Structure formats: structure tokens, C-alpha cells
Amino acid sequence: MKRSFAREGIAASRVRSVFISDVHLGTRGCQADRLLEFLRNYDSEYLYLVGDIIDFWAMNRSINWTVAQNTVVQKLLRRARQGQTVIFIPGNHDELLREYDGVSFGDITIQTEHIHVMADGRRFLLIHGDQFDQVTRHHRWLAILGDVAYDGLVQLNSLLSSTRRLLRMPGYWSLAGYAKNRVKRAVSFIFDFEDSVIRTVRERGLDGVICGHIHSAVIRDAGDIEYVNCGDWVDSCTAIVEHLDGRLELIRHAESSAKQFDGVPSAPTDSPLHAA
């Protein structure tokens, strides 16, 4: 069943599965509007929420819940109600949901991890990934401290973004993304996040893994294992889709929809010359 969205004037692509992680609902950094655009563009049989969807850590400090974020929750619930298989695999920021392993809420099932069988028969472990992050596992206070600092960066970043818009500078550049990438790169260098994920998946005799957590989207061929990370909806606006034949694709929403995105008052004619 191919649904078309008359309001948008574009038909949704039919894929087998959609994988998203690290949406961080409840924070200022959450790019709910862009996620809604993405969800409208992709219709699927399976929808996997691969952790850190709701940021309970951040909401302990201050809640930032927008209309768009509310709509995200409604759209997810509606997809489940309409018969899509929607599975929520909690992350560390929504870890309190891990107590509800196997429980369904409004047709969305919570599972601490899940094995998804691709259309071509390959078996992938779906897990958020904090279990492999030595910082969040053994130094929780350090992770929370880093999180507070990250919030500050996200706020500084939205200030920078509005300045860029004011100056009519095209594009979107994320300071927090830049900083976090540098920091996380260092962290993963030391603690070898990806390698420890891959090792575990190999030991379990699976073909691949789809995780999140480090906000760094990739599809990497690690020999016998395919390592896939969904990225996030704070900085990079990325997701993974499984096509009808089992092929995986990394979608960078911010880039692919730059032309049709009308949320920011920047026209294609934007250029420093034009603005001057």
C-alpha cells in the first residue's frame, strides 16, 4: 500500500524498515520538525526506535517539550496503531523504560534488544549501544557531566544558527555536532566502541548490528559483520532504511531535503552578495 501525501505533494517512499535513534525528545536540541519531514517521506512495515528517543536525563533538569515533539509521539503511536511493527529499544537516556522489557504501550513494544531479520535473511542485532560505551558503563557521573556541557553547546549553537540566519548565511552548521564529534572520536579511539560492538555481534553469530548512541551515522563493512549506526536527530538528522530487497541505506535528511525544506526563511537565492 503506497500512500501519497497530497498536502506535501510528494509520495512517501515505500521501504521495508526504518531505524532511528537519539531523537532526544524533551531537549532544545531535538530537531523534531526535520524528523517529522523524514517520517512523512518514508512509509515502512517495521519502525525501530533504537534508543535515546526520550531524554529523561535532560528532562530532570529542564523540560523543553514543543508542539512538534508532541506530533512526533503522535505519529509514532499512529504508525503502530495502523499496523506497522514499532519496537522501542531503550537507550541510556530513556533507560527507565528497560524495566518494561516485552511490554507494549499503545501497540509500541519495548525490548531491551531485538534481532531483526532482513528481507535477504541476514540477522542483525538491534541495540542502543551504551552497553559498549565504557564511559557510560563505568563512569556514569562523567557521562552526566558531559551531558550538561553538551546542553550548553546546543544552546550556544541555536544562538549561532539564528545569527547565521540573520546574516543570511546558507546551510546549517552545528557547533555541538563538531565538538561532540571531536570528543566522541577521542572517546571511541580510547574505548573502541565500534570494535567492541562488532566483536560481540561476531561472537553471537549474527550478520550485523544496528545501533545508535554515539551520534555518528555510518554503514561500515567490517568484513563478516556490517556495522550500522543510525546517527541522531540533534545534530546530523540521519536515519537508516532497509529497502524491500534487504539493502541498507543511510539517509541524511538535512542534505536530501534542503531544497524542499521551508522551515527556515532562507531562499535558494541566498548568498552573501544577495544579502549585502
Contact string (CB under 5 A) for Mn ion, positions 118-147, x = contact: ------------x-----------------
Query: Residue 129 Cβ, how far from Mn ion at the closest point, in Å?
Result: 7
Rule CB under 5 A: say whether 231 interacts with Mn ion. no
Stretch that binds Mn ion, among 47-55, 102-110, 183-191, 258-266 (CB under 5 A): 47-55
Residue closest to Mn ion when measured from CB atoms: 213
52 binds Mn ion (CB under 5 A): yes
Tell me the C-alpha distance between 21 and 208, whole Å.
17
180/213 with CB nearer Mn ion: 213
Residues of span 10-29 touching Mn ion by CB under 5 A: none
Instruction: Report in angstroms how near the CB of residue 192 gets to Mn ion at its nearest.
Output: 17
Residues in a beta bridge with 104? 109
Site for Mn ion in 75-114 (CB under 5 A): 91-92
CB of 212 to Mn ion, least distance (A): 6
For Mn ion, which is the closer residue by CB, 95 or 270?
A: 95
Identified binder of Mn ion from the candidate list 79, 180, 213, 253, rule CB under 5 A:
213
- Residue 177 contacts Mn ion per CB under 5 A: no
Which residues of this chain interact with Mn ion, rule CB under 5 A?
52, 91-92, 130, 213
